[in-house]
Structure formats: C-alpha cells, structure tokens
Chain A
Amino acid sequence: MSSTKAARIGEEVWKTRIDKVNAELVTLTYGSIVAQLCKDYEGDYMEVNKQLDKMGYNIGLRLIEDFLAKTNTGRCINFRDTAETISKIGFKVFLNITPTVTNWATDNKQFSLVFEENPLADFVELPDDGRAQNELWYSNILCGVLRGALEMVQMQVDAHFTSDVLRGNETTEMRVSLIRIIDDELPPGDD
C-alpha cells in the first residue's frame, strides 16, 4: 500500500466511522492513570514503564480487532507497509495523529515513529524529583499497544521510546523493530 493510499483510508475512516470523544478527557484520564501508577509504585519509574507497557499490550490485543473491523484492510505485504499502516491509518483513526515514519534500518526491520504531536502528553510536566526526567517514559502505553496489536497479526516486535520532548529532548521518537514473524499454529494431533 502506498503512503498516500494509506493516508486516504485513514482520513476516510476517521471521518466516517469513528465515534469521537473529547481529547482533554483522554489526556486527563491517561494522566491520572500514570500519576496513580507513580504513586502506587512509590516513584519506581522503571516499574511504571513496565506496567504501562503491559496495559497497552492488553489494549492492543483487542484494539487490533476493532482496527481491522473499522478499516477493512488486509494483510500487509511487508514491514514497510506495516509501518505506513500503523502511522497513517492506526494512529490516525484512534488518536487523529500521523507520526512520521523514518530512520529505516538497512534490513527494513527497524523504523522510528516521530511524534510531532502527542495528545497523551498535553499539559504534562514530569515530576521534578531529578529521576522522572531520566527514567519515566510517560507515553509508554503506546509501545505496549503496538506490541499487542502486531502480535495478533503474527508479528513479534519490540517497541520502545528513545526520546521524549517531556524529558527535554528535541523530538518524541519511538523505535519499532521486528523480531520475527510468528508462524501459524498447527492443530493438535489426533491422539
């Protein structure tokens, strides 16, 4: 699928088939989840990252079905196709953003998503305790969502943030790498 075609589908589905909610509601709900996790784990930000990723993973496992039902897209032909679909259709229909796909590795198995805008992080300032700036990946739930959703369509990936404007970096960038294609499961033997 070409990138313009993906963009067109994303736009179309977002306009016609998506129920919208107030963006601030999403931002504030997500913010309270992260804040609560930080409290529950008493500032163990590594653990908070892990929990966010896990929550996202469980969302992704279901979200993919909704994605396929709404967009009616078929299987992607290669990982580049997958990247375009994630950015132009996936992020578009669920968050109304289209992160830029860039920094491809030469083997076409790794790419970066650069977020010019991130509705999850509006109004956010990381805690000023000297550690959150270095340890907390505030939007880490997104990594989990991608991991879960792609696993359901037979792609095992690793996704993690490499920079975040909240930490004072220039950009917000997520690195996604394909680990392997999961084989179809075979039915159990008749014994």
Chain B
Amino acid sequence: MPIYSFYIFDRHCECIYVKQWLERERNSLRPTTSSGASIINSPLSGAPDKRISAGTIADQSLRTAPGRLSVQDDAKLVFGVVFSLRNMVRKLSGPEDNFVSYRTGSYKLHYYETATNLKFVMLTDVKMSNLRVVLHQIYVNLYVEYVTKNPLSPVEHPGGEGVAVELFELGLDRFVQTIQEA
C-alpha cells in the first residue's frame, strides 16, 4: 500500500526532515486531473464535503500541476493541520489525549508525538491501517539511534541539519518498503 510522504517537526515548530515517495505516480495522475481525482474519491469517501478544509487545499496542490506547492509549503501546511488538530483535541478531552490519524477522500495522515515535542507525520493511502506504532518505531529505532546518538550531529536541527544522514535515510527507506509491501 503506497506511502506518500513523511515529515518530522521539532519543538521549535520547524520541519527538520521531509521525504516524499511516489513522485512519479503522482505526476502520472496529473494529465487526467479531474477524472483521476474522482476515481480515487468516489469509492472511498461517501461524503467528500466532510473533508478537513486544509486537507483539501493540500489535495488540490498535489493534483493541479501549475499551482503545485513546493515541498516547503507542503510541509508548512501539514504542520498547520497537525498543530491545530492537536491543540483542538487537547482542549476537547484533556492534555493527555492526542489524535492518531485523520482521513480524507484521497489520503490518510498518521501522527505520533513524543514527550519532547517531536512530531512524526506520515501521509499514506486511505486504506492503510494505523501507523502509530510504525511512527513510534521510526523514532526509537531510527531517529534516536542514528540522529540523536550520532555524536557529530547537533542537538537541535536548525534547517534539518544532521537529520538526513545516510544511516537514517537507508533505514527509513528499507522500513517504508516493508510497510508498503505488507
């Protein structure tokens, strides 16, 4: 099942890592913009009007080729969504609660946050099962091992410095592959 993209945000609200997969498949959707989109939407979302509006904006940006947002703008939007959603959830049901994922007609966003305010976000196919555990494993087995414990990596990662190291990238790619094949 396809995984589209993966983001890490640090406690300073900065995006310190982005990885996007399946760029080619997305491109191939573009020429048939409207029909392609409706095919994806129709069987899965009975009520497209229920979509979260920010998600819709991001959706459109993926499909309409000329107006497509840059990777940085995508990341900003994703952060905006998870940040507001997280704060809203906490207001509604107490500071211990956190949202796990949300789904639109064409993608599913999975969310995991550590006690140190690191936020892990993954965008996948709508049919993907819950990836909270997977995000936790990425934190434990890849981020902590290869980024935090790397003595040459800085403690904070302004501009993503020190996160995109080879071991981390390799591990992430391999890990994502196993999920996609599962």
Contacts and interface: CB of A to CB of B under 8 A. Distances in A.
Contacts of B47: none
B72 interface: no
A66 interface: yes
A187 B149 contact: no
B120 to A, nearest CB: 13
Contacts of A184: 11, 117
Range class of the A interface residue count: 20 to 34
B167 interface: no
Given A186-B13, A187-B79, A188-B13, A62 B155 contact: yes
Size range of the chain B interface in the assembly: 20 to 34
A113 interface: no
Contacts of A153: 115-116
B36 interface: no
Contact of B148 (A65, A77, A185): A65
15 contacts: A58-B155, A64-B116, A65-B114, A66-B144, A69-B139, A69-B140, A73-B115, A74-B115, A75-B95, A75-B115, A152-B11, A154-B117, A185-B11, A185-B12, A187-B79
Interface of A: 58, 61-62, 64-66, 68-70, 72-75, 77, 152-154, 184-188
